[in-house]
Chain A
Amino acid sequence: MQRYAINILLCVAAVVLIVLAQTETLDKYVLNIIMLIGINCIFAVSLNLVNGYMGEFSCGHGGFMCVGAYVGSLLSVAFFTDSKLFGAALFAPELAPFLFPLVLFGAMLAAALAGLIVALPSFHTRDDYLAIITIAANYIIISIIENIDAIGGSRGFSGMKKTVNAMSDLIDLPWMLIWTLIGVFVCVVVIRRLMTSTYGKGVSAVCQNEVAAEMMGVNTNHVKIMAFMVSSGLGGLAGVLYAHVYGYVNAQSFNLLKSTEGLVMVYLGGMGSITGVLMAAVAFTLLVELLRFIIPGLNTVFHDLNLLPASYQLDQIWTWVIIPLTLILLMQFRPEGFLGNRELTHVFPRLKRWITLK
C-alpha cells in the first residue's frame, strides 16, 4: 500500500482538480492555465524522447503539434458539428464524449505520419544536419496549412468549441480538463514503458553510438522510425488538446517559437528525465503566466523609483527577454537542467518507497 502512496496521491489530486473545476471553485483563467500546463507536459515529454533519450536535436516539434491540432480539429468538426466545410455532422452530437478518443487517435496518427518527414532523412543524417531538416519540416507543415484556404488559411480554424459544448450538454463535466489529464497520463506511461523496454534500450544505444548499436544487432533505422513517430504522435496529442481547449487554431501558433518553448522545457528539466521535464513544463508555463503580472508590477516600481523615463513602459515583450535570459543563466550554472538525465527517484531514492512506476 505504501508503495502506491504517490500514485494514489496523484490520482486524488486529479480527482480534486476535476471536482474543483466542476464546482467552479477554480476560475476559468486558472483552469485554462492548468490545462495549458498539461498540454505543455505532453509536448515536452514527447519531445524528450527524441532530444533527450535518442540524442537527436529536433527543433521542429511545433510542426507535429500543428498537424495534430488541425487534423484533430477537422475530425472533431466533421464528426460532431454541422459546418459549411463538411456539411451535417457525421455522428449525433450526443456521441461526442464517447467518440472523442477517435478524434484524439486520428490526430495522433496524422502527426505520427508527419513525423516520417523527419524520420526518413534521419537514416543518413544526424546532429546539426538533422536539426536543420526538423526546422524545415516545421516550416513545410505550417506553410502547407496556411495555404489551404478551405481550412481557414492564415485566418485560422475554429468550431471545436461546439464539440466541447456537445460533450458538456450531455454530461456536465469539465471535459477538456479530463481529456488533458488522461493525455498526460497516457503520454507519460507510453514513454516510460517504451524506455524501460528492450526497444528503449535500443533508443539509448542509438543515442550513445549508432555503430555500436548496429553491431549489437539493433536495427537502428527501425528504432529511429519508431522513436520519431511516437514522439511526433504524442506531440500531435498536445496539439489536438490545445485546439479544443482554446476552440481556435492558427498555424502560426505552432511556429519555431513553439518548438523552441519545447526545447526550453526539455533542457530546463534535464534531457532524458521524464520527471525533470514534467517539473520544467510546470515551472515554465507558470513563469510565462506569472510574468504577465510581474512585468506591470516591475513597470510601476521602476517608474516610482524614477529608474525609467516616463515615456517608456515595460510591456509584455519583455517576457521574451526574461525567459531566454533565464535559459542563458541556466546553461551557465546548471547545464544539465533540473535533474540531468536522472529521474526524481534516483535523486531522492527514498521516494521509491512511496511510488511504483511501471
Chain B
Amino acid sequence: MIRVSNLKAAYGKIEALHGISFHVEKGEIVTLIGANGAGKSTTLKALMRLVPPEAPTVTGGDITFDGASILGMPAHRIVSDIRMTLAPEGRRIFGNLTVMENLQLASWSRKGESTDKEIQHVFELFPRLAERARQRSDTLSGGEQQMLAVGRALMTKCSVLLLDEPSMGLAPLIMYDMFRTLKRLNAEGLTIIVVEQNAHLALKVADRGYVLDTGEIVAEGPAEELLHRPEIKAAYLGG
C-alpha cells in the first residue's frame, strides 16, 4: 500500500536518509527500529510530508500510496485524503484545550460531520480519557497524555497510523497496555507503522521490521525472525 523507494532526505545540507526503500501492506504492523539518530523519526516526518525546519526536505526517491506519488501533497491533505496520520514524538497534545476539545479538533479535516461515534470508540479504548473529558489536557499524567495523543490521531479516521516512540516516558505496565491497544486497533483493520527505542517490545507486536542505521536500512524481515537474529540481538536487544 505504501511504497518508499530509494528515499533520500536532508536537513539543509546534511543528508539524514541515504536512499532507503521499504513497503507497508494493508493491515500490517511494521516497526522501524534503530539507535538514536538512525533516521527513524526523519522517515516518519518525510512520510507525513511535514516541512522544514521541523522535518527534512526530500532530495531523491519517491513515496507512493496505492501507486500514486504523495510527494507533492501538504501534510494536512495526507491526513484528510490519504487518511494517514502521525502521533508525534513527545505527544504534543494541545495543552490549553480540554481532552474533549483535543479530540474534537482532530476531526477538523471533516468539518460538519458528527464525531460522537469516534469519540465513543476512543473512550472505549482508553476509559481513563472519558473520566477526564472536561479536564484541561496539560493536567493529565504522562501516560494519559500518550493515550490522548493516540486517541486524537484515531479521531482523524485514519487508516494508517504512524507512531513515534509511543512508549517514551511510560511506566512498563502502561506501556504494555498501550501496545495491547495498538494490537487491538490492528485487528480492527488499522495499518500501523511504529518507531520504537524499545526494540524488543516493538518486534513482539509487529508483523515485520526494518532496522535502520545512520540513514540506511541494514536489516529487514519478519519481526519474529529479527527478534532471534544474533547480530540484532547483540546490537539492539541487549544481548
Residues of A within 8 A of B (CB): 198, 201-202, 204-205, 207-221, 272, 341
Report B82-137 residues with CB < 8 Å from chain A CB: 85-88, 92-97, 101, 104-106, 108-111
A210 — which chain B residues lie within 8 A by C-beta?
54
Q: Please, which residue of chain A has its CB at the minimum distance from the CB of B91?
A: A212
B152 — which chain A residues lie within 8 A by C-beta?
216
Instruction: Tell me which of A201, A204, A212, A218 contacts B92 (CB under 8 A).
Output: A212
* B96 & A217 in contact (Cβ 8 Å cutoff): no
Q: Which secondary structure characterizes the binding site on chain A?
A: helix
Task: Decide: A215 near B48, CB < 8 A? Known: A207-B96, A208-B94, A208-B95.
Answer: yes
A205 — which chain B residues lie within 8 A by C-beta?
94, 97, 105
CB distance from B104 to the nearest CB of A (A): 7
Q: Which of B86, B95, B106, B109 has the most CB of A within 10 A?
A: B106
Q: Is B6 at the interface (CB under 8 A from chain A)?
A: no
A208 — which chain B residues lie within 8 A by C-beta?
92-97
Other A-B contacts than A204-B97, A216-B108, 13 sampled, CB-CB below 8 A, are: A198-B105, A201-B101, A211-B50, A211-B92, A214-B79, A215-B75, A216-B106, A216-B156, A217-B76, A217-B106, A217-B108, A217-B109, A341-B96
A212 — which chain B residues lie within 8 A by C-beta?
88, 92-94
* B85 & A217 in contact (Cβ 8 Å cutoff): yes
Q: Is B153 at the interface (CB under 8 A from chain A)?
A: yes
Task: Decide: A217 near B156, CB < 8 A? Known: A201-B108, A202-B108.
Answer: yes
CB distance from A40 to the nearest CB of B (A): 26
Instruction: Tell me, in angstroms, the Cα distance from A330 to B86 when the chains sit together.
Output: 40
Q: Is B80 at the interface (CB under 8 A from chain A)?
A: yes
Report B9-57 residues with CB < 8 Å from chain A CB: 48, 50, 54-55
Task: Decide: A209 near B92, CB < 8 A? Known: A215-B86, A216-B156, A217-B85.
Answer: yes
* A218 & B94 in contact (Cβ 8 Å cutoff): no
B101 — which chain A residues lie within 8 A by C-beta?
201, 204
Instruction: Tell me, in angstroms, the Cα distance from A205 to B92 when the chains sit together.
Output: 10
* B80 & A217 in contact (Cβ 8 Å cutoff): yes
A215 — which chain B residues lie within 8 A by C-beta?
48, 75, 79, 85-88, 153, 156
Instruction: Tell me, in angstroms, the Cα distance from A44 to B155 when the chains sit together.
Output: 35
B50 — which chain A residues lie within 8 A by C-beta?
211, 214
Task: Decide: A216 near B85, CB < 8 A? Known: A198-B105, A202-B108.
Answer: yes
Q: Which of A205, A210, A215, A219 has the most CB of B within 10 A?
A: A215
* A216 & B109 in contact (Cβ 8 Å cutoff): yes
CB distance from A96 to the nearest CB of B (A): 41
B54 — which chain A residues lie within 8 A by C-beta?
210-211
B80 — which chain A residues lie within 8 A by C-beta?
217
Instruction: Tell me, in angstroms, the Cα distance from A141 to B110 when the chains sit together.
Output: 39
A218 — which chain B residues lie within 8 A by C-beta?
76, 105, 108-109
Q: Which of A211, A213, A218 has the most CB of B within 10 A?
A: A211
Q: Please, which residue of chain B has its CB at the minimum distance from the CB of A125?
A: B53
CB distance from B231 to the nearest CB of A (A): 35
Instruction: Tell me, in angstroms, the Cα distance from A262 to B89 when the chains sit together.
Output: 37
Q: Please, which residue of chain B has its CB at the minimum distance from the CB of A124?
A: B51
CB distance from B138 to the nearest CB of A (A): 9
CB distance from A216 to the nearest CB of B (A): 4
CB distance from B153 to the nearest CB of A (A): 7
* A219 & B94 in contact (Cβ 8 Å cutoff): no
Instruction: Tell me, in angstroms, the Cα distance from A211 to B91 when the chains sit together.
Output: 11
Instruction: Tell me, in angstroms, the Cα distance from A220 to B49 when the chains sit together.
Output: 14
Q: Please, which residue of chain B has its CB at the minimum distance from the CB of A223?
A: B108
* A209 & B94 in contact (Cβ 8 Å cutoff): yes
CB distance from B86 to the nearest CB of A (A): 5
A-B residue pairs in contact (CB < 8 Å), sample of 19: A202-B108, A205-B97, A208-B92, A210-B54, A211-B54, A211-B55, A212-B93, A213-B94, A214-B50, A215-B85, A215-B88, A216-B105, A216-B153, A216-B156, A217-B76, A217-B80, A217-B156, A219-B76, A220-B76
A207 — which chain B residues lie within 8 A by C-beta?
96
Task: Decide: A204 near B76, CB < 8 A? Known: A211-B50, A217-B106.
Answer: no
Q: Please, which residue of chain B has its CB at the minimum distance from the CB of A272?
A: B96
Q: Which of B55, B92, B101 has the most CB of A within 10 A?
A: B92
A202 — which chain B residues lie within 8 A by C-beta?
105, 108
Q: Please, which residue of chain A has its CB at the minimum distance from the CB of B105?
A: A201
B104 — which chain A residues lie within 8 A by C-beta?
198, 201
A341 — which chain B residues lie within 8 A by C-beta?
96
CB distance from B147 to the nearest CB of A (A): 15
CB distance from A128 to the nearest CB of B (A): 13
Instruction: Tell me, in angstroms, the Cα distance from A220 to B156 when the chains sit together.
Output: 16
Instruction: Tell me, in angstroms, the Cα distance from A221 to B51 when the chains sit together.
Output: 12
